Structure 1
Amino acid sequence: MIAKNRKKVENFNKRKLSFNKNWTVQTLINAFVIIVGSFVFAIGINTFMIGGHLAEGGVIGISIILYYAFGWSTALTNLLINVVILAIGFKFLSRRAMYYTIFTIPMTSIMLWITEDWQINFENIIVNMVFGGILIGMGIGLIFRVGSTTAGTTILARIANKYLDVNVSYALLFFDLIIVTIGLTVVPLERVLLTVIALYIATKVMDFIIEGMNPKKAVTIISTKPELLAEHVANDIKRGVTIMHGRGYYTQENKDVLYVVINKNQLGRLKRVIKKHDESAFVVVHDVNDVLGNFII
């Protein structure tokens, strides 16, 4: 009986001490990416945006306004506001995103504190605008890529989506524009308009970082020569093709529908193949945000 109980204790200790090595390594890598992203983001804010007396969207935009108006530390106000918003809207994040966000919020504020004196005001304000937008987009893109968020208006946008049925992207843009508009109280109109351009640059860079260097396109093809097109896509472009069976509602004719996911730089080649072998084919091209797996279908 004693031996049996000892064996149970040993088994319990083994289970308690066991962990997924791959998961732990990936978590450490993600944490490192968040640290790098926070640092790049902080440089974009302090060195270029504040250095050029520009504004910004999101919670950091509010922090910048308070810094211009009262001289309050952006690191501190960014931390406090984000903590309050996260406490209110944490249930709108997945558990994984919430854990990473809890790590991201103080890390971002620490990096803002470290770089708060790294301000550079270039003679040409366009330099501040462009590089501020690029670095902010890179920083947020890295943070989002590993599944974290910067809290702030991201959570507010999700709350608006749930209760007001507003698209998250539009809600996020709406909140950012409100904050940028409030910035007119402490920033000249010219600088606010430059800030809007910087926000656009940041959005494009962020999308590039999240989607990767080689974004995908999904192509749906309705053709009278599906087998011929599928053969050329497979042999000439070296991509897998899925053939689905469909039926036209108006003609009631059975149709084969081709579906293929390709690299963006292969789209022109695919269009030429389709035009060469079936000019009457109906083609729809879709943007693809993410692709998981690597196999021929």
Structure 2
Amino acid sequence: MKSVVKNSIQIILGALIYALAINYFLIPNRIGEGGVTGLTAIGYYTFRIPPALTNIVLNGILILVGFKFLKRETVFYSLWAVIWISLFLRVPVLWPYHTSQTIIAAIAGGVLMGISMGLIFRAKGTIAGSTILAKIVNRYFGIRNGSAMLFFDLIVAIPSGFIIGFQNMLLTALELYVSAVVLNKYLDAIGAKKSVLVLSKKNRAIGEALSANLGQGVTMLKATGFYSQENMDALFYVCSNRDWTSVMPIIMSVDPEALVVTDQIRSVRGRHLPDL
């Protein structure tokens, strides 16, 4: 319950920042968006349809798609995010940011979008639209969330040039790129994981030290040296970026000559196993 409350509050904060980016930076300067949000902007520019209405209708349809491919928990949090985004989009805009230097609005909007989606993604949700598609691609193919989302968003953003003009379409593409970069950096810095492969004659002692100090299990693999044909244990360990700062000192304290190979993990699937 504590985790649910924390995630719900974080999603509300992300939804607030998302709505601020749209109402205060993008729409006042006729900058579009990708995915469903881009369609809401086009609907507003062309037919004056309230963005909140378009957002909740189209995203409701995509959430139904999410039921088939995503966890029920993710779908619930996504619905929660869509509701709050729609509510915040209806709040009257007091001081919209109008500027002749529209590139500033595009960059500022992109940064806010990236931060808001990072908050929502970290809380196990999405903003529906292209982010649901990005979550599905990330889960099944391991492509980074921001990169997959940028692809789907550009599918909507590029044709929007016929409505908002070529220059604003380019600004929209810039805003989407900035938001994707910010989202990837945010998730890499806070939520990403690293895999560690250790080859050492003292792997069992290293595994015991990692497990004792960081409170996680370690997987031991059987390995054979190709040249020497010598059998030995290989240690495989998955950790967060936060724990990574402690991993290397622990390994080096046991065996300073250990061979350590690390890699950034883009996607982790499956249950938490006691030995991994």
Q: Which runs of 5+ in 2 are unaligned?
A: none
Q: Distance in 2 between matches of 1:120 and 1:141?
A: 23
Equivalence map 1:39-188=2 (5 Å): 39-116=16-93, 118-156=95-133, 172-188=149-165
Larger Rg: 1
Hey, which bits of structure 1, 4+ residues long, moved more than 6 A?
Answer: 158-162, 165-168, 238-241, 267-270
Q: Distance in 2 between matches of 1:100 and 1:282?
A: 38
Structure 1 equivalent of residue 223 of structure 2: 247
Farther-moved stretch of structure 1 (258-267 vs 123-132): 258-267
Question: 1:118 offset after TM fit, Å?
Answer: 4.5
Question: 1:242 offset after TM fit, Å?
Answer: 4.4
Q: Secondary structure at the match of 1:182?
A: coil
Q: Retained in 2: the 8 A contact 1:86–1:155? A: yes
Q: Distance in 2 between matches of 1:148 and 1:263?
A: 21
Q: Secondary structure at the match of 2:42?
A: helix
Q: Secondary structure at the match of 1:114?
A: coil
Structure 1's 34 and 171: CA in aligned 2 closer, same or farther, altered over 3 A? closer
Q: Distance in 2 between matches of 1:268 and 1:167?
A: 24
Q: Retained in 2: the 8 A contact 1:53–1:191? A: yes
Specify the code of the residue in structure 2 equivalent to 1:283.
Answer: V
Structure 1's 160 and 140: CA in aligned 2 closer, same or farther, altered over 3 A? closer
Q: Which whole-Å deviations, capped at 9, do the CAs of 1:36-81 have from their partners, x for residues lacking one?
A: 2111100011211222321211100111112222222211111221
Equivalence map 1:29-44=2 (5 Å): 29-44=6-21
Specify the code of the residue in structure 2 equivalent to 1:74.
Answer: P
Question: 1:180 offset after TM fit, Å?
Answer: 0.9
Structure 1's 286 and 210: CA in aligned 2 closer, same or farther, altered over 3 A? closer
Q: Distance in 2 between matches of 1:181 and 1:263?
A: 36
Structure 1's 89 and 186: CA in aligned 2 closer, same or farther, altered over 3 A? same
Specify the code of the residue in structure 2 equivalent to 1:40.
Answer: I
Q: Secondary structure at the match of 2:158?
A: helix
Question: 1:156 offset after TM fit, Å?
Answer: 4.6
Question: 1:147 offset after TM fit, Å?
Answer: 2.0
Q: Retained in 1: the 8 A contact 2:196–2:236? A: yes
Aligned residues: 262
Q: Distance in 1 between matches of 2:204 and 2:64?
A: 57
Q: Secondary structure at the match of 1:51?
A: helix
Q: Which whole-Å deviations, capped at 9, do the CAs of 1:236-295 have from their partners, x for residues lacking one?
A: xx778947242237444313323454747749976xx69x9549x4624233668x99x9
Structure 1's 149 and 286: CA in aligned 2 closer, same or farther, altered over 3 A? closer
Question: 1:130 offset after TM fit, Å?
Answer: 1.9
Specify the code of the residue in structure 2 equivalent to 1:36.
Answer: L
Farther-moved stretch of structure 1 (51-60 vs 203-212): 203-212
Specify the code of the residue in structure 2 equivalent to 1:183.
Answer: S
Specify the code of the residue in structure 2 equivalent to 1:104.
Answer: A
Q: Distance in 2 between matches of 1:214 and 1:88?
A: 25
Q: Distance in 1 between matches of 2:165 and 2:33?
A: 13
Q: Retained in 2: the 8 A contact 1:38–1:111? A: yes
- Among all aligned residue pairs of Structure 1 and Structure 2, give the percentage whose two residues are the same amino acid: 30
Structure 1's 267 and 134: CA in aligned 2 closer, same or farther, altered over 3 A? farther
Structure 2 length-normalised TM: 0.73
Structure 2 equivalent of residue 286 of structure 1: 264
The RMSD of aligned alpha carbons is 4.1
Structure 1's 49 and 98: CA in aligned 2 closer, same or farther, altered over 3 A? same
Structure 2 equivalent of residue 8 of structure 1: none
Q: Retained in 2: the 8 A contact 1:43–1:118? A: no
Q: Secondary structure at the match of 2:24?
A: helix
Question: 1:132 offset after TM fit, Å?
Answer: 0.5
Q: Distance in 2 between matches of 1:150 and 1:218?
A: 29
Structure 1 length-normalised TM: 0.69
Q: Which runs of 5+ in 1 are unaligned?
A: 1-22
Structure 2 equivalent of residue 5 of structure 1: none
Q: Distance in 2 between matches of 1:130 and 1:120?
A: 13
Structure 1 equivalent of residue 199 of structure 2: 222
